[in-house]
Structure 1
Amino acid sequence: MARPKVALPAAESLLALADEEGRLAVRVTPGAKTEGLEIGAGHILAKVRAKPEDGKANEAVRALLAAALRLAPSRLILLRGMTSREKLFRILP
């Protein structure tokens, strides 16, 4: 059975949520049945299949954000929230 397509918002919509320093607030749901990004009240809602073990969910969120923003994952740095559902990423120039 093929995996369904991942729901990703437009890059412009995500960039509009970044502050002047290029930081994005993300709320994560690890272990979800489907993967995707949604835009909520001033932050991004990320659903990933990966479990919150050994940073796997963090890397999955980074990969989703990078795909939506059309950036290399190395240009996204996790500033805060390694073990929390509330994360703060910074987009490097």
Structure 2
Amino acid sequence: MAAEPFWRETRDGLQIAVRLTPRGGRDALDGVETLADGRRVLKARVRAAPTEGEANDALIRLLAQALGLSRSRLSIVSGATARLKTVAVEGAPEALATAAAHLAAS
């Protein structure tokens, strides 16, 4: 049985579950992790500190670059002040799901 993806298709695109590590030493995607409750999340780290939204901005930049999209198509829809976040990505869900699957191998 295939593992559940870390994203969910919506009418307007995707919602990606992310576990963010601020002050992580570098900006990078570190694969996928299964949490204790069984949810799967994309692991990301950024150099920015978690103050004044700097880490969230860095996360949006990192994901936009990895997906080949403009930053304006991504937004944090939940978890803005938490380590676990949901990032909405606007676009064709099928194409974005294909791109998201490649993020896991980053």
When normalised by structure 1's length, the TM-score is 0.78
* Alignment match, 2:30: 38
Task: Report which of the two has the higher share of strand.
Answer: 2
In structure 1, how many angstroms separate the alpha carbons of the residues matched to 2:23 and 2:6? 25
Q: Relative contact order (C-alpha < 8 Å, sep 6+): which is higher?
A: 2
In structure 1, how many angstroms separate the alpha carbons of the residues matched to 2:6 and 2:41? 7
Give the length in aligned residue pairs. Answer: 78
Deviations 1:20-77 (A, max 9, x none): 2110000000011122002213211110000000000000000000000000011001
* Alignment match, 2:7: 18
Q: Is the 8 A contact 2:23 2:49 kept in 1?
A: yes
Unaligned runs of 5+ in 1: 1-15
Which deviates more, 81-90 or 36-45?
36-45
Unaligned runs of 5+ in 2: 34-39, 92-106
| Same amino acid, percent of matched pairs | 37
Runs of 4+ in 1 over 2 A off after TM superposition: none
